[in-house]
Amino acid sequence: MRDYLANEIRNVVVLGHSGAGKSTVVEACLYETKAIDRFGKANDGTSAMNFDPEEGKRGLSCYCHLAPVEWKNKKINFIDTPGYMDYEGEEVTGLAVGDNALIVVDGKEGIEAGTERAWKESSRRKLPTLFFINKIDDEHAHFEEVVASLREKFGQTVIPFEMPIMEGGKVVGSVNILRKKAWYYNNKKEPQEVPASMADQVEEYYAQIAEAIASTDDELMEKFFMEEPFDEHEIAKGLRIGVRGGDIRPIYCGSAINMTGIVRLMDLITEYFPSYAEKGTIEATDPNGNKVSMDTNEDEAMSAFVFKTIVDPFVGKISYLKVMSGVLSSESQAYNANKDANEKISQIYVINGKYQIGVGKLFTGDLGAVVKLSSTDTNDTLCTKAKPVTYAKIEYPEPMLGFAIRPKTKADEDKLTGGIRNMMQEDATIRLVNNQETHEQVLYGLGDQHIDLILSKLKSKYKIEVETFTPTVQYRETIRGTASAQGKYKKQNGGAGQYGDVHVRFEPCDSERMEFAEEVVGGAVPKQYFPPVEQGLRDCMEHGVLAGFKVVGVRAVLFDGSYHPVDSKEVAFKEAARLAYNKAMPNAKPVLLEPIGKVTVVAPESYTGALMGDFPKRRGLIMGISANEDGDQVIEAEVPMSEMLTYATELRSMTQGRGKYVLKFDRYEPAPQNVADKVIAEAKAKKEA
């Protein structure tokens, strides 16, 4: 593979719903250009893209993969992304470095949740976009219906440039609407006249394209109104401007598995999608926090953004990067501006699926990888020390679904943490929380399938088998009344004894931690025993008398007691405090507090009724509803955290994969009696077991 400059590179992120055929489209491009000599199958792990064992097992993409394709003296860097919501972190990764978007749509299924998400994300980033209706040869495919739904859903800038020719229920060719010519699969060289049955529809689509082209330029608009036809150069000019500006989003069609439409797809990408160089400048930040502009050409100082990390058991850490400016050379030094560390660039690779191809340089706009960087992680920027800059970090979706985990064998405890930490370097949507209060390790992911992938990888790659269970909800306990008790600890073992005697009053307060005070008069308890009494009470407050949860909002007052000049010791007063606690707290009207979270749900308007009706079932209170810039509904509510443990899965079911949410802890409130009774009973049963 030869070197390519910034103006020869097209970075295309491939998006769409899971199963639409994204990886197969990329595979077809690789096969057409002879980059691979075998056409694999996505559902058995033999494809150039879905090569990971976990992907072969699941029959779908789980990771973001790179595929460079050389076509007509241009280089197309395809960034193939998963379409399933659980792997959205990988989709976000691809979007971060893609300069253009190819949205693959299933010709049979039409618009799906992944199609809508792809449209929203590419539109938000203002990426030039085209649609490829795949599987057009399926007997249940409906090109016209899919086109109509795309235009209705995404607007009139979405225009078909290609139509399938049907004979006897089968696709036998396609019509290029711009050229108004037909190509038949059994005669790939010679264009034919458009079938008479399609002529009117072709003219209608051509008129839509012409109008869109006219809107890109005043001269073209004037010519359009004069009803003068555009020549080939005017069409090319208008299309380039329209596609780059988002005023035209072409629809092409074909069948990736049968290699139809692939050549014209690559032609369109190289002709009409902008190169990275056309950006002119990109925004970066200097060490003082000031915005600086970097030129997107090879003459600018080198800077590269690390967008993905792989931890390979044999090679070590592989850092995927995009050269944002200048030239990255092997056997050179780079400066990590995020970590203030120098890195040695030993070897540079171009990544093609599972293969690594060594190259000497990467030019502006190109994608590649380097190995064994000591300090560099995903989201870091490598640059020159003479011109240090950083680029905006990728914002990943927040993992909400949590499972408490433990290894099946004690010997794997240390390996478990290390394995997950390696996986967290690769996937920023994995979170591991060591809960000091519940003594549980809680693994968070984006959904059931994401969690399953993590656990499966732990087993296959790190040889660790894990058990999962529902995480313990962190309730709290407090008191509503006041109670006092004496705690007297006396022990004699033949020699010096132990003696401690305290009277403690427990009363409510507003503090999160226990407040300690003393009202001892006359030296009934010497001051040196105040700290052990306080420590003894604080230790007790870690385990309430109702269900063993941490106690908050209590003021403990030491107001009387006695001591022995010989036998009194700190440990005795600490034990006496515990006895007073156990006697008094059950009489101070103890109550269970449950954690309340603030949840923000974003989903299309059509699901609003179902979502709002669901919150009362969870004892939730809706606080507000509004619309965001995408037209989706934003529902804000307050809900007990115990009712939200499986919400990630249930929301997906309620919204057909179109809803998202973020839940954050807000405060504690007294739990309803029926909830408290259940929690207390479960705690008692657990203790007895």
Distances 357 to 1, 267, 361, 370 between C-alpha atoms, Å: 9, 25, 12, 11
662 phi and psi, to 5 degrees? -130, 130
Report the pLDDT value the prediction gives residue 229, as an integer from 0 to 100.
83
Report the pLDDT value the prediction gives residue 602, as an integer from 0 to 100.
96
* First vs last C-alpha separation in the chain: 66
Residue ranges, the chain, pLDDT below 70: 41-46, 188-189, 494-495
Q: Where are the beta strands (DSSP E) in 395-460?
A: 401-407, 431-435, 440-445
Q: How does pLDDT run across 95-138, given as a tens digit for each residue?
A: 999 999 999 999 999 999 999 999 999 999 999 999 999 999 88
Match 């003068």 to its residue by tokens.
Answer: 228
Phi-psi region of 509 (alpha: psi -120 to 50; beta: other; left: phi over 0): beta
> Which is nearest to 62 in space by CA: 609, 445, 572?
445
b/e map 424-444, b = 16+ CB within 10 Å = bebbbbbbbeeeeeeebbbbb
Other residues' Cβ atoms within 10 Å of the Cβ of residue 200: 10
Q: Say if CB 80 and CB 15 are below 8 A apart.
A: no
Q: Say if CB 364 and CB 295 are below 8 A apart.
A: no
Dist CA 115 CA 113 (whole Å): 5
Report the pLDDT value the prediction gives residue 237, as an integer from 0 to 100.
87
Vertex 99: Cα angle to 93 and 104 (nearest 5): 75
Q: Where are the beta strands (DSSP E) in 139-260?
A: 158-160, 162-167, 170-176, 181-184, 187-192, 249-253
Query: Model-level pTM?
Result: 0.90
Residue 134 tokens, joined: 């795949």
Name 598's bridge partners.
638, 664
Domains of the chain, earliest start first: 6-196+247-277 (3.40.50.300), 280-383 (2.40.30.10), 401-469 (3.30.70.870), 477-588 (3.30.230.10), 594-685 (3.30.70.240)
Dist CA 346 CA 357 (whole Å): 14
Report the pLDDT value the prediction gives residue 385, as an integer from 0 to 100.
95
Report the pLDDT value the prediction gives residue 46, as an integer from 0 to 100.
67
> Which is nearest to 141 in space by CA: 253, 236, 226, 48?
253
Q: 3-class DSSP state for residue 300? A: coil
Q: Where are the beta strands (DSSP E) in 609-678?
A: 621-627, 633-640, 660-670
Q: How does pLDDT run across 262-289, given as a tens digit for each residue?
A: 999 999 999 999 999 999 999 999 999 9
